[in-house]
Structure 1
Amino acid sequence: MKVAVVMGGAGPEHQVSLASGRGIVKAIGLLGHTAIPLQIDADGNWVDGQHEAIEILQACDVTVPAVHGEGGEDGTLQGFLQQLKVPYVGSGVAASAVGLDKHLTKAVLRAHGIAVAPGITLAGPDLSDTEVAMQKLKAAGLGFPVFVKPGNGGSSFGVARATDLPSLTQAIADAAVLDPHVLVEREMVGREIDLAVLEFPDGRVDTAPALEIHSDPGQPFFNATAKYGSNATRFVVPAPLEPALAERLRRTAIEVFAVLGCEGLARVDFFVPPDGDPVVNEINTFPGFTPASQFPRMWAAAGLSYAEVVDTLLRTAVARG
């Protein structure tokens, strides 16, 4: 097959996306297919030119939209590919848009009885009015510490932990630079567990063994530095879980995938409190995909190599048409 791999993008995850795309391109070559990399620069422009990119995309059998975050994982690129009638890997427009929007994700999951971290969403004038933010937090029964994060985006860019009014004010201002909607959520104390969900060509959906994150103790939380710039962060897979908890997380991850209408792949991230029920933190409809990323690590523990995971994604996309 001829496979286009779109990478880069205008969001803060540009470099992460390039790394994911390069890994996928290499795997496609190992599978015996022809990989055609297409890059979107940091200003959102197609490096080869938009008309040239359209011609290339339409000449390919399938496309891998490996752009993380804004402009790629939010349904924008998926809609573009659908207009071109080009088969592509991963979720469609609606699931991608909802999955990247943390507020919408939580609203949908909460409506389906799936536990999410308690929090509030700030927008418009509320972003610069700390008194209103404090009133909303109080009404929601939330106190410090809290986590502040942009409504859209990934890789923990713009995420901060606030322990008092000054740090809350600064955190909201910083997050608002990246997105006009800002979430303020209760700090969830407990284990951080990830589940990798994969759809197979026959329509079956399953998860790999769970992964537990042990973040760099020198960082305040599992932030971008702990994710990409630290040798002290450890990923344990399979995570040591009681069988009942492991099965509960597996069922919930597949339910989240189905409720949001996802296709192809997703990573569902959980908090597991010491004495409470698991809580969904977020979903990534196109998670980091370097060979060292969590998603391929989990499937490696299930016996699927990086290239075999890519092969599954391609075959599933082609089968879906």
Structure 2
Amino acid sequence: MSLAYYIKLLLEVMLPMVLLVAAGAAWRRSLGENGVKLVRGYISTITINLFAPALLFAAAASADITTELLSVPLLLGLSVLFGFGVLYFVLFHTRIGANLAATTRAGLLLCGIFGNVLFMGFPLLHFLFGDEGGRYAAFADMGAATPLLWSLGVWIAIRFGGQVAHQGNPVKAWLMLPPVWSFMAGIVVSLMGWEVKPIISASHFIGQPTVPVMLLMLGLSIPWSRLAPNRAVLSVAMFKLLVLPFTALLVSWSWFGTLRDAQIAAVIETGVPTMLMALSVADRYQLDVEMVALTIAWSTVLFLFTLPLWLLILI
């Protein structure tokens, strides 16, 4: 990757993302805690019920579903499962997590394995690979990250957090989400070969605000006044940004040899910052929300430094 290409990436992708997060941070200062919760609730509602379903339908319906495309969620899912095993040992059986509360360790475990594959990955992969890059991000999210969050992630919160014995059926809750149904509908359209190009174009238009509003919400959610990190937070953030994608890279090399666009996309997706939805899971299952938010913040900041490294290796 040339310096000129990376500068273009910074200006066209990373700069808008940083400005949106910064705008959310500035807005947070004037809203206060109650205002932040209210606005965040509105943004989440409209995104989950309108913007994200439209974006995911357009991506799935316009996709040519091949084994190459499906390798992206497969590699991401395997990396998450491997990361869970390693990070569990680090947080529960080494000095890094020795003095942490159970709610903190469970929250950090979520942060270390679940990435922001749609909201961070979509603009980045779209820049690198065009429309196909957007499909990589959509399939990574709906084929691996989100279902694993609502199954393995919820199990982690209940089993290791220890604050909530049970709160409904998380898999059922996931299946009731509008983005899941719209994504499945898009897959049906693709597999059946139906010509619905006007609907796909309209869905793509409606779904365009998804990434900007969620990055704005990321800025709203980070506790900017309490950003001093500790060893556990930095360890988990670096695990997420370096160890997990390195795992995906090794698996890709062993299975595919020469990496193609899909495998490169999978490695990049595995190395994106912590998923914003981890904050919702932490709040719902009474984990250490502040520590989770802090890890999201630091993984997002450090991503600006780890991304060039991975692009240099992969492209």
In terms of fraction of residues, the more helix-rich structure is: 2
TM-score (norm 2): 0.27
TM-score (norm 1): 0.26
Larger radius of gyration: 1
Q: Which has the bigger relative contact order, CA under 8 A and spacing at least 6?
A: 2
